[in-house]
Amino acid sequence: NVHINGDYRELQSAIRNIMDNAVKYSPDDSSIEIRWTKHNQGGSSLSVSNAGAGIDEAHIPRLTERFYRIEKGRSRDMGGTGLGLSIVKHIMERHGGELKVRSQKHVVTCVELYFPEERIVYKEQ
């Protein structure tokens, strides 16, 4: 039982966005891993990993720019606007957290929402 203190609608939007992206950019026969991690150094994170086409490391620093698309035609065909990760980044910043993306072309992509310790409440069952 984990609770994140913050704006429910914004947090729901951020989480839905990274999960939708994992589904959208994964082959039909692949798996998606969703993990909650409590970090020893403080804070916790929600990570979503998929084994899709991966993202070339050169694109990662630009993923949170408004309207940035790696492959313009593919994103448009899948309904993307190029705003999703930009919005997620700003939501995380408003909540004192951070958006992290790790990927390599043709390797697993992991998108992580890191929340500082003061935003997390662990409830006993």
Q: What are phi and psi of 115, to 5 degrees?
A: -115, 135
Is the pLDDT reported for residue 117 higher than 90?
yes
For residues 63-70, average pLDDT: 64
Q: In this model, does residue 97 exceed pLDDT 90?
A: yes
This prediction has a pTM of 0.83
- Looking at residue 1, what is its pLDDT? 81
Residue 52 has pLDDT above 60, yes or no: yes
Residue-wise over 12-24: b if at least 16 C-beta within 10 A, else e?
A: eebbebbbebbee
Give the contacts of 12 (CB within 8 A, at least 6 positions apart): none
Q: Given this model, what pLDDT does residue 26 score? A: 86
The pLDDT of residue 76: 46
**pLDDT exceeds 90 at position 96:** yes
